[in-house]
Amino acid sequence: MTQTKTLLTATLAAALSLSALNAQARDLRLGLITPATHQWSQAAERFAADLEVASDGAYRISVHPAQQLGNEAEMVQQLQGGTLDMAFLTLAELSNWIPDFGALYAPYLVDGVDQAAALLRTDAARELLELMPQGMGLVGVGYGMAGMRQVLSRDPIESASDLRGKTLRITPFEPILDFYLAAGSAPIPLPLPAVYDALANGQVDAIDMDFDSILMLNFHEQANHLLISNHMMFPMVGVMSGQLWRDLSEDGRELIQDTMNRHLDEVISTYQQQDAEQEAELRRQDIEVVEADRAVFQEVIAAWEATWNDKAPSLAALRETAAALNLP
Ligand code: BEZ
């Protein structure tokens, strides 16, 4: 009898909390820059579907990929103004507001995709998200990622010195800019949707990119030299607007955060799982592949650190955390 009563009470509590969510039912929008077929956009769609079910229809999210709502700077403005509710963002615009995020782009902070994944799951990385409410008026929910950075080029690039004088596409933000400036190249900041044309029309000699995007967006059709350098990781952050956060009940915040975090973390796992196969897939293409490690970029790394050790105070703690990670 007591057991039946407890069960009934729990069922009633769950029903009440769902109906409390339902009382504030709302349509939400989530923006991203990646194409609809990209892992991030697909994860956003799955998050939206799961949240609608888990909230019993209280939250319906429409996902807007491919810069439909504008570039990341524009989306951040919309988030700050409360006209956009959520986004999955690269750290490009976030590190303009909070330079400490640049620490996650320290060259060779991690050895590869598994260490990158493990680092993004630590408290040291999550502490950076806590800077967001004060630093830019947004709530950082959690991290996803897009694997590791490589260099794809039309002519062979086998060492840091081969980068000298080359026009090279970068994601538009300072930590990557400083890395390639230190290497003596001429970095050209371009958002992901502009990269294919820039490579095809000769605006750039090379691009800084991840395996997944190279394969998905067919960049290897336009450039057939790949330097597998794994020189930086590429985190993504799932964010909510301050306005949405203030409007939500405790239950609503928890449900949205938990559901989004689960899907962001799945993105990290997906990049871990597909890394080796995507590298193998690229090696099967008509591409010249060369490998490089941190020794190749020693001087570039020293120059980068001279600027960023001060600009990104979290770097020291992240390095320590990364070094202490026990990977299988
Ligand atoms: C890039 O800018 O290279 C990029 C952006 C989002 C996802 C993957 C790559």
What pLDDT, on the 0 to 100 scale, is given for residue 21?
A: 55
Residue 234: band (very low, low, confident or very high) from pLDDT cuts 50, 70, 90: very high
Record the tokens describing residue 18, joined without a space: 């769902």
Is a pLDDT exceeding 60 seen at residue 219?
A: yes
The atom of ligand 1 lying closest to the CA of 207 is: 3
Residue closest by Cα to atom 4 of ligand 1: 192
pLDDT of residue 328: 77
Mean pLDDT of the chain: 94
The predicted model gives 83-105 an average pLDDT of 96
Q: pLDDT at position 85, please?
A: 98
If you write DSSP's letter for every residue of 266-315 in order, what string do you get?
A: HHHHHHHHHHHHHHHHHHHSS-EEEE--GGGGHHHHHHHHHHHHHH-TTH
Q: What is the pLDDT of residue 327?
A: 81
Residue 224 CA, distance from chain mean position:
26
- What angle is formed at CA 30 by the lines to CA 115 and CA 25, rounded to 5 degrees? 120
State in Å: Cα 55 to ligand 1 middle: 31
Element (H, E) at 52: helix 39-54
Please state at what angle helix 250-284 crosses helix 113-120, rounded to 10 degrees.
170
Q: Which amino acid type is present at position 96?
A: N
Q: Look at residue 107 and tell me whether its pLDDT is greater than 50.
A: yes
The Å distance, Cα 216 to ligand 1 centre, comes to: 12
Round to whole Å and give the CA distance between 23 and 119: 39
Distance 252 CA to ligand 1 centre (A): 30
Tokens of 209: 């990119």
- Please state the atom number of ligand 1 nearest to the C-alpha of residue 92: 2
Name residue 86's beta-bridge partners. Answer: 30, 240
Q: Name the residue of 39, 41, 42, 90 to mutate for ligand 1: max ligand atoms within 8 A of Cβ.
A: 90
pLDDT score at 56: 95
Question: Cα(219)–Cα(285) distance, rounded to whole angstroms?
Answer: 12
Task: Work out the number of other CB atoms within 10 angstroms of the CB of residue 11.
Answer: 10
Q: What per-residue confidence (pLDDT) applies to 326?
A: 79
Q: For 214-242, what is the mean pLDDT?
A: 98
Higher-scoring residue by pLDDT: 155, 20: 155
Whether the predicted pLDDT of 2 surpasses 90? no
Class of domain 25-146+234-277: alpha beta
142: how many CB neighbours lie within 10 A of its CB? Answer: 23
- Ligand 1 atom having least distance to the Cα of 210: 9
Q: Can you give the pLDDT at residue 12?
A: 47
171 Cα nearest atom in ligand 1: 2
CATH of domain 150-232+286-322: 3.40.190.170
Name the token pair of 135. Answer: 């630093």
Amino acid at 38: H
Query: In the predicted model, is pLDDT for residue 1 greater than 50?
Result: no
Pocket of ligand 1 (CB under 6 A): 34, 90, 146, 171, 192, 209-210, 213
- For residue 38, the ligand 1 atom closest to its alpha carbon is 7
Of 23-32, 116-125, 280-289, which gets the smallest average pLDDT?
23-32
Gap between the Cα atoms of 214 and 152, Å rounded: 8
pLDDT in tens, 275-293: 999 999 999 999 999 999 9
Give residue 46's Cα distance to chain centre: 17
Give me the percent of the chain exceeding a pLDDT of 90: 91
> What would the pLDDT profile of 175-216 be if each residue is shown by its tens digit?
999 999 999 999 999 999 999 999 999 999 999 999 999 999
Under 8 Å between Cβ of 32 and 86: no
Centroid of ligand 1 to alpha carbon of 192 (angstroms): 5
Half-sphere exposure of 108 (CA within 13 A, CB side): 15
Q: What spacing in Å lies between the alpha carbon of 149 and ligand 1's midpoint?
A: 10
In the chain, what are the domain boundaries? 25-146+234-277, 150-232+286-322
Angstrom distance (rounded) from CA 155 to CA 163: 10
Report how far ligand 1's centroid is from the alpha carbon of 136 (Å).
22
